[in-house]
Structure 1
Amino acid sequence: MRDDAMNLDFSKEALPLYVQLKALIKNDIIHGVYQYGDQIPSEVEYEKKYDVSRITVRRAISDLEKEGYVVRSRGKGTHVIYNHTIEERFSQIRSFTDEMRAVHMEPGTRNFEIREEPVPEEGAKAFGILPSEKLVCVSRVRTGNDKPIVYFKTYFAKSLDMPLDPSSYGESLYEYLNERGIKQPVRAVENFKAINAPKDIAQKLEIKENDALLVRTRFGYNKANEMIEFTLAYYRGDAYSFSVELNSQ
């Protein structure tokens, strides 16, 4: 048995080899080693890598196809059709970094920009300023396991005196605020709407123009009930879902 096969248990007491192999491939798919649309290794490659029979490999992949993880096409190989979505339950205010850590995904940031610019009308009204007035805006694409998930545009109240130097910031804006002794919002009002992705945002999120987006608008308030944050978040419709629990009390 080669070192490559150490992940399989060949003992008589172990689960059938096809079950073990299926679990290994499924784990790679769920954790993003092979993502939606990717072609997984061929039956021959799995056969050689794990020192198992072609029948074992074929049965493992057949089961994965039945469970909706892959699809086999004659002459084109086997491709991943499982599309992992991140579910957020509404119970507390959390940063994107914390959301990713909660589902065991590695958060990342791309296309980080910071500048002063006019606030969209709904944000300006909430801040109590004119739409022409400029505030510090931090925009960035946040990723999970290096896959673009959401494009954020966050405007901060002038009272926070946010710096314009990109090197001042880390991965999480809320962690940065806490480090400066400025508590993150303790209350938030959020609105949601579905839109078709405009070209510029589609490019940032690596999707097609007019693909489905979920726009999450957040109005964040401090303990004094002063609005300190206005955020527009554009989530990929194929990568994120939200869950709300309600009761009658």
Structure 2
Amino acid sequence: MKAIIDPTKNVALYLQVKDILVKRIQEKVWPPNTLIPTEQELMEEFDVSRTTLRQAITMLVQDGLLEKKQGKGTIVKTQPLIGGSLGKLKGFAEEAIERGLTPESKLIRAEFKKDLYYEKTKLRVADDEEILVIERVRFADEVPIAIERSCWPVHIGQILNKEDLNRAKFYEVLESEGILLKRAKEKISAMNATIYEADLLGIRAGEALLEMTRLSFGFDDKPIEFTTTKFRSDKYHYDIELTR
């Protein structure tokens, strides 16, 4: 079935093309390590210019979904990097799916705690109240990518704690309950993996990790989430778009 590009739609043509290409990669229409159709074939299918098509493909190359091979063409990468984008509030699962990967989680622990005073300060929770702490290893296509430790106020924790935390996509669960995230503050730093962290991630102790700390707020500007995620630096990157 021919893909339909709508020139009257309020979305740039190259972005429409990109979305179709991503979907085909996600659905394994083009399996990993195989060539995608030629530029001429895709131009004819989408009825777009070479410039438009190349914009879409370039974005997917930058995202780690595709790779250009000199003299061969463009192939689907076997395991693209997962990447976050500064300025966009997304969860790990959303980032993985956008890159054609299957996200999974392995629960380490989930419990309500009263003695995490630093985290409670971040969440503006009273000293005598509990917060829910959830620790998970995050996977993409069965490869361990990150260790995630998230803290939630008790009223949100009670919602999340009813879910299968090996499968739950937290933001989707909250949105289904009418709890929407408005904004977040993030801090990114480098660190080295401990023996425990290295064992969970399948790497050597001392290898570099990318640590991201996120404090998310709802539309009432009250903190909803305080999460620290430690990513394998060989499997994750951040995209930053600058303007002048």
TM-score (norm 1): 0.61
Provide the C-alpha distance between the structure 2 equivalents of 1:145 and 1:107, rounded to a whole number of angstroms. 6
Q: Give the counterpart of 1:167 among 164, 167, 172.
A: 164
Quote the residue 1:49 is aligned against: none
User: Secondary structure at the residue paired with 2:137?
Assistant: strand
1:65-214 equivalences in 2 (<5 Å): 84-117=80-113, 122-129=118-125, 134-163=130-159, 164-165=161-162, 167=164, 170-183=167-180, 185-214=181-210
Cα distance in 1 for partners of 2:197, 2:128 equals 23
**Can you give the 5+ residue segments of structure 2 that lack an aligned partner in the other structure?**
1-29, 35-68, 73-77
Instruction: Give the structure 2 partner of residue 46 of structure 1.
Output: none
In structure 2, the CA distance between the partners of 1:197 and 1:118, relative to structure 1 (3 Å rule), is farther
- Shift in Å at residue 89 of structure 1? 2.0
Seen in structure 2, the aligned counterparts of structure 1 residues 143 and 187 have a Cα distance that, compared at 3 Å, is same
The match for 2:234 is 238
Is the Cα–Cα contact under 8 Å of residues 193 and 215 in structure 1 kept in the other structure?
yes
Relative to structure 1, the CA distance from residue 140 to residue 191 in structure 2 (aligned partners, 3 Å threshold; closer, same or farther) is same
Change (3 A) 1:160 1:209: same
Contact 2:113 2:131 in 1 (8 A): yes
Which has the higher Rg, Structure 1 or Structure 2? 1
Distance verdict in 2 for CA 1:210–1:117, change over 3 Å: farther
Normalising by structure 2, report the TM-score: 0.62
Q: 1:168/1:83 Cα in 2 relative to 1: closer, same or farther (>3 Å)?
A: closer
CA distance in 1, matches of 2:123, 2:178: 22
Deviation sequence 1:92-150 (CA, Å, 0-9, x none):
21111110111001111113431123575553332234678641011111111110111
Helix, strand or coil for the counterpart of 1:182?
coil
Whether the 8 Å contact between 1:119 and 1:135 is mirrored in structure 2 is no
**Which residue number corresponds to residue 27 of structure 1?**
33
Identity %: 23
TM-aligned CA distance change 1:151 to 1:116, over 3 Å: same
Deviation at 1:243, TM superposition (A): 1.5
Gaps of 5+ in 1: 1-23, 29-63, 68-81
Query: 1:244: Cα distance to partner?
Result: 1.0
How many pairs align? 176
Q: Are 2:151 and 2:226, in contact at CA under 8 Å, matched by a contact in 1?
A: yes
Counterpart of 1:191, as a letter, is K
Q: For the residues of structure 2 that align with 1:169 and 1:110, how far apart are their CA atoms? A: 5
- Alignment partners' CA distance in 2, 1:168 and 1:26: 29
Q: CA RMSD in A?
A: 3.2
- What SS does the corresponding residue of 1:238 show, helix, strand or coil? coil
